[in-house]
């Protein structure tokens, strides 16, 4: 606390916690045995209304399990999803789920669409965000039965459903929201991270080859710096655990101060724009529509 001046210190309240959840700890064990971990204490504060959001850089599985257990999901949401705002050539899009749910039903994927849509509306001020379903081709016949049923549900919903999108559409910014199961989303995100790292390695190698290429690098350094800043993953740190009755944001485990600041800002913006109430409203409306169309069908 020595780093903070009086004004900042007054705004900070330290809540003691005696336990730590290990990064490799099984989520269910952490839930059962770590009732006084910082993670649990923070989420309890959200539950009690003493905090508007919890931000953690800890064990994702344990964070998800604890958040689900303590906060519960919004009525009409089966399972929370991990959502992230990612850069694209046009601006920003929201991709979910990024790893919380390996297999998803069409209903769950529809719920992800609603949650992503509301997140984009609240955080990016997008009116009626477009929603794409991640698939391996744009045609309706592509994908397995689960994907086809999901497309059907999304088409019938009140969402601004664009249709199927492919992997490259994420960075093209074809839609504001990209919906996928957690397996596909996680692989896509990590593949992109791996490619970005490879490009950085290759650029460094090419510019570091000899004194002449190093001279070129020196000349290009200011511009390369701007490029690096633009794609800096720390700027996109902070994944939302969406679908809970409280705001929980997951920071990358290896985030530095700058990265963690972005995760905190994400939590702040979610709290300020009341994203949870918006999701709850939209899901309730969707459930009403479903009941109505079922009643009409009978």
Selected binder of a second copy within 193, 277, 284, 289 (CB under 8 A): 193
Is 233 an interacting residue with respect to a second copy (CB under 8 A)?
Answer: no
| Least gap, CB of 158 to a second copy (angstroms) | 27
In the bound state with a second copy, the residue whose beta carbon lies nearer, of 167 and 265, is 167
Is 261 an interacting residue with respect to a second copy (CB under 8 A)?
Answer: no
Three-state secondary structure call for residue 170: helix
Selected binder of a second copy within 22, 75, 194, 253 (CB under 8 A): 194
Q: Under a CB-based contact definition with an 8 Å cutoff, are residues 251 and 265 in contact?
A: no
Q: Under a CB-based contact definition with an 8 Å cutoff, are residues 177 and 132 in contact?
A: yes
Contact track, a second copy, 148-187, x by CB under 8 A: ------------------xxxxxxx-------x-xxx-xx
CA distances from 151 to 155, 165, 211 (A): 6, 11, 55
The per-residue b/e assignment along 118-157, b for 16 or more CB within 10 angstroms, e otherwise, is bbbbbbbebeebbbbbbbeeeeeeebeeebbbbbebbeeb
The beta strand positions in the chain, using DSSP E, are 53-56, 81-87, 92-96, 130-134, 160-165, 177-179, 239-242, 247-250
Is 246 an interacting residue with respect to a second copy (CB under 8 A)?
Answer: no
Q: Under a CB-based contact definition with an 8 Å cutoff, are residues 80 and 44 in contact?
A: no
| Least gap, CB of 136 to a second copy (angstroms) | 4
Is 255 an interacting residue with respect to a second copy (CB under 8 A)?
Answer: no
Q: Under a CB-based contact definition with an 8 Å cutoff, are residues 113 and 263 in contact?
A: no
| Least gap, CB of 192 to a second copy (angstroms) | 5
Selected binder of a second copy within 8, 29, 224, 277 (CB under 8 A): 224
| Least gap, CB of 185 to a second copy (angstroms) | 9
- Which residues sit at the interface with a second copy, rule CB under 8 A? 87-89, 99, 102-103, 134, 136, 143-144, 166-172, 180, 182-184, 186-199, 201-203, 206-207, 209, 213, 216-217, 219-220, 222-224, 226-227, 230-231
């Amino acid at each position: 606390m020595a780093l903070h001046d009086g004004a900042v210190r007054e705004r900070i309240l330290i809540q003691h916690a005696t336990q730590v959840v290990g990064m490799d700890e099984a989520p269910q064990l952490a839930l059962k045995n770590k009732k006084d971990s910082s993670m649990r204490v923070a989420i309890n504060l959200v539950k009690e209304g003493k905090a508007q959001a919890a931000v953690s850089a800890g064990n994702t599985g344990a964070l998800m399990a604890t958040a689900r257990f303590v906060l519960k999901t919004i009525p009409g949401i089966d399972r929370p999803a991990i959502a992230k705002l990612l850069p694209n050539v046009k601006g920003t899009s929201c991709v979910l789920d990024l790893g919380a749910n390996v297999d998803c039903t069409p209903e769950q994927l529809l719920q992800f669409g609603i949650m992503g849509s509301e997140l984009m509306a609240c955080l990016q001020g997008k009116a009626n965000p477009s929603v794409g379903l991640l698939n391996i081709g744009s045609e309706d016949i592509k994908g397995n039965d689960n994907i086809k049923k999901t497309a059907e549900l999304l088409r019938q919903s009140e969402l601004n459903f664009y249709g199927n999108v492919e992997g490259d559409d994420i960075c093209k910014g074809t839609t504001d929201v990209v919906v996928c199961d957690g397996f596909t989303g996680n692989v896509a995100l990590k593949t992109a991270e791996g490619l970005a790292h490879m490009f950085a390695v290759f650029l460094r190698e090419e510019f570091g080859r000899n004194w002449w290429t190093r001279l070129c690098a020196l000349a290009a350094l200011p511009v390369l710096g701007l490029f690096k800043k633009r794609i800096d993953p720390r700027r996109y740190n902070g994944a939302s655990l969406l679908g809970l009755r409280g705001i929980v944001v997951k920071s990358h485990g290896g985030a530095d101060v700058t990265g963690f600041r972005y995760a905190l800002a994400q939590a702040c913006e979610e709290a300020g724009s009341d994203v949870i109430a918006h999701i709850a409203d939209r899901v309730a409306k969707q459930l009403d529509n479903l009941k109505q169309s079922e009643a009409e069908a009978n």
